[in-house]
Structure 1
Amino acid sequence: MDMVEEFRGAQERLAVNNSTRWVQKWEPPVGLMYKVNFDAAVFADLDASGVGVVVRNDKGEVMASLAARGPPVRDSDEAETLACRRALEFAVEAGFSELILEGDNLTVMKSLISLKPNRSRLGHIVEEIQCISAGLHRFAVSFVKRNANTVAHALAKYARLIDEELVWLEECPQPALEPLYFDSLGLRQ
C-alpha cells in the first residue's frame, strides 16, 4: 500500500497542467476609428532594425501597410519606440486622423500615456509621438500581446529582405497574408 501511495503522489507531482492558455486575438476598432498596429524587429547581424505597420478599419480590411528597414538600435525598446513613431507618421501621411495605436511592447505603450515627463534616453522620441498624436481628431493607445499583433510582426520581419521602404494601399501585402487570414478567421466567430 505504501508503494501505491508513493506512486500516486509522484503522479500528482508530475501531472501536466491541462489548462489552456488565454490567447488574445486582434480586434477591429469600433466605429469610424482605424487601428494602427506596429512592430519592430532587430537584425543585429545586419546592424539594422525593421518596422512593420498595418492600418485596418472596423471590418478588418487593410487600408495601408508599410515595411521598412530601420537604423541600428541598442535594444528592443529603442526599436519599438522608433517603430511607433514611424507608424504614427505613416498613418498621418496616409490621411488618417482617428486612430487607435496598438503595439506589443508594454514599456513603450505605457510611456505614451504617461503624464510625467520622460527623462529616459528615448524620451525625446516619446515626446515627438505625443506631439503628433495631439494633432489628431481622436487618438487612443492600446497594448496587446504578440499574438494579436502578428500582421505587423510579419511586416517587421520582412524588412530584413528589403532596402527601401515599401508601402501598400488598400491591399494585403504578401508577407502578411497568412497572419491576416488568421486574424480574419477570428472576426467571423
Structure 2
Amino acid sequence: MDDLEGTGLTRNAEITTWVPLSGTTIKINFDGAFDKQRPRAAFGVVARNGEGRVLIARSKLHENVGSAFAAESLACLCAIQTGIEMGLSETIIEGDALSIVKKCQNHVMDKSEIAAYIRNIHLTAEHFRWIHFRHIKKEANRLAHTIATESLRREEQEYLNGMVPDFALQRMEEEWLREPD
C-alpha cells in the first residue's frame, strides 16, 4: 500500500504483470475489443492455474454492441460463464477496465448504460461459492487483450483447452516466462 502524500489515504500498488496465485484458485482474465464502425465486439478470456499454465483460452464475437463499456461488460460476463463451465466454485476475475471491475465489486443498483449487463454479471456470479473481481493494469492483461483484438480483426471465435490461438503463443510464452515485478 502506498501513502498518498500524508492524506492518510492509501491505494493498492497496481499489478503490472500477470502474477500466478499460490494454491488451487483459478484466475480468469478478460478483455473486450470494440469496433464502433460495425458495431461489434470480441472478447478474450484466459483461465490459468497457480503455475500460470493456460487451462482455457476463449474468444467470442458479439454483434450489435453499443459501446466499449458494453464490450468490456460482456467480456467480464463471458469470463464468469467460462468459470461456471469449468465447474469452479471459487475464482478471481481480472480485467483492466476499472469502471467495469468497480461495478462488479459494488452491488448497489447500477443506473448506467450498461446496467443490464452489470445486473446479469451479479446474477451469474451467484453460481460461485466465492468470487473476487480485481482490477489490473493493461500490461498484466496482455494475453486476454491479444486474443480479443486479434479475434475481432480476424473475425474468429475459438474455445481451446490447455492452449491459446497460434497468434497469441508468443504473448503467452512471454508472460509465462517473465518474472513478476
What band does the TM-score fall into relative to the shorter chain?
0.7 to 0.9
How many residue pairs get matched?
A: 168
**Cα distance, 1:119 vs structure 2:** 1.6
SS of equivalent to 1:149: helix
CA distance in 1, matches of 2:152, 2:107: 35
Question: Percent of counterpart pairs with the same letter?
Answer: 27
Superposed, which structure 2 residues align to 1:160-171 within 5 Å?
A: 160-163=152-155, 165-171=157-163
Per-residue CA distance 1:104-149 (angstroms, 9 max, x = gap):
0000000001131112221121111111112212211110010100
The answer to whether the aligner puts 1:112 opposite 2:111 as a matched pair is: no
Q: 1:131 aligns with which of 120, 123, 133?
A: 123
The answer to whether the aligner puts 1:32 opposite 2:24 as a matched pair is: yes
For 2:85, give the aligned amino acid: E
Q: Could you tell me which residue of structure 2 aligns to residue 121 of structure 1?
A: 113
For 2:47, give the aligned amino acid: V
Residues 157 and 95 of structure 1: CA distance in aligned 2, closer, same or farther (over 3 Å) = same
Residues 51 and 171 of structure 1: CA distance in aligned 2, closer, same or farther (over 3 Å) = same
Q: 1:151 aligns with which of 136, 143, 149?
A: 143
Q: Could you tell me which residue of structure 1 aligns to residue 170 of structure 2?
A: 178
SS of equivalent to 1:30: coil
Superposed, which structure 2 residues align to 1:11-160 within 5 Å?
A: 24-160=16-152
CA distance in 1, matches of 2:102, 2:44: 20
**Which stretch has the larger CA shift, 178-187 or 111-120?**
178-187
Q: Could you tell me which residue of structure 2 aligns to residue 3 of structure 1?
A: none
Per-residue CA distance 1:57-116 (angstroms, 9 max, x = gap):
000000111012122323211110111111211221132232100000000000001131
CA distance in 2, matches of 1:123, 1:95: 27
Residues 139 and 45 of structure 1: CA distance in aligned 2, closer, same or farther (over 3 Å) = same
Aligned partners of 2:158 and 2:165 also within 8 Å: no
Query: Structure 2 unaligned runs (5+)?
Result: 1-13
More helix per residue:
1
**Which stretch has the larger CA shift, 169-178 or 56-65?**
169-178
CA distance in 1, matches of 2:160, 2:113: 32
